[in-house]
């Protein structure tokens, strides 16, 4: 089964590209940010707990996030594969995902990072905030905190999968279609996914 991690800082275009990849390669898209927002909107206990962290631009604790991800994966037994968007965001999350897949005799196919610099990220997220309705997209200090969390806790996940020769990076600038075309080339030529 295919397990692709779409990686990169907040605002790097993961959600946009994931939607296009899902359509082209018939994979299931799991965005932990979307799952948390759904829980928050439904005012579940998990959602209310997650909101305490999300509203501050902090990562939700690993145990909560890993369990939510596990339940989502298990709810989709018949798919061809998954695109993980916004997960794993810490080394313990990556280890838990590897363990979960290993228990099913499966493993991560590849991690693909979209590379975009900090100033561009702030600009893109503030712009997205005009229409996304996400409170964490409207406040520059929260955006900067999310970027700090990414640098401190998440960027190491790239190196974690690099040890296994699974990490790849592509330029996250340019039009949505140009980035999608680079992604598709990588997926088909190097990873041999069709
Ligand atoms: P995103 O939509 O991916 O930008 O995520 C929005 C917010 O949800 C993040 O700033 C975190 O507070 C939380 N979140 C999403 N995914 C994770 C994760 N894998 N680990 C911890 N927190 C997460």
Q: Would residue 142 count as lying in a domain?
A: no
Ligand 1 contact, 59 CB (< 6 A): yes
172 inside domain? yes
11 lines ligand 1 (CB under 6 A): no
Residue 148 lies in a domain: no
φ/ψ of 9, rounded to 5, equals -65, 165
pLDDT in tens, 58-88: 999 999 999 999 999 999 999 999 999 999 9
- 38: in domain: yes
Question: Within a domain: residue 136?
Answer: no
CATH number at residue 44: 3.40.50.300
Residues 6+ apart with CB under 8 A from 56: 142, 145
Report the interhelical angle of 45-54 vs 62-74 (nearest 10°): 130
Distances (CA, A) of 101 to 74, 109, 192: 11, 11, 20
- Rounded to the nearest angstrom, the distance between the alpha carbon of 143 and the centre of ligand 1 is 12
Range of the domain at 174: 2-117+154-190
pTM over 0.85: yes
Rounding to the nearest 10 degrees, give the CA dihedral for residues 53, 35, 113, 14.
-110
In a domain, 133, yes or no: no
Please give the tally of structural domains in the chain: 1
Identify whether 108 is part of a domain.
yes
Helix (H/G/I), strand (E/B), else coil: 48: helix
| Residue-wise pLDDT tens digits, 89-146 | 999 999 999 999 999 999 999 999 999 999 999 999 999 999 988 999 999 999 999 9
**Domain assignment present for 139:** no
């Amino acid at each position: 089964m295919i397990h692709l991690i779409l990686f990169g800082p907040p605002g790097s275009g993961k959600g946009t590209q994931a939607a296009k990849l899902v359509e082209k390669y018939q994979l299931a898209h799991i965005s932990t940010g979307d799952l948390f927002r759904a829980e928050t909107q439904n005012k579940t206990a998990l959602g209310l707990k997650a909101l305490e962290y999300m509203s501050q631009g902090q990562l939700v604790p690993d145990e909560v996030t890993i369990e939510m991800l596990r339940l989502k994966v298990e709810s989709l037994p018949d798919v061809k594969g998954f695109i993980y968007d916004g997960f794993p965001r810490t080394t313990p999350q990556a280890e838990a995902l590897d363990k979960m897949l290993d228990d099913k005799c499966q493993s991560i196919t590849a991690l693909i990072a979209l590379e975009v610099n900090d100033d561009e990220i702030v600009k893109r997220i503030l712009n997205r905030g005009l229409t996304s309705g996400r409170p964490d997209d409207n406040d520059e200090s929260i955006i900067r905190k999310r970027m700090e969390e990414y640098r401190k806790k998440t960027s190491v996940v790239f190196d974690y999968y690099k040890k296994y020769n699974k990490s790849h990076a592509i330029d996250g600038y340019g039009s949505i279609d140009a980035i999608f075309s680079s992604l598709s080339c990588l997926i088909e030529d190097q990873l041999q996914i069709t």
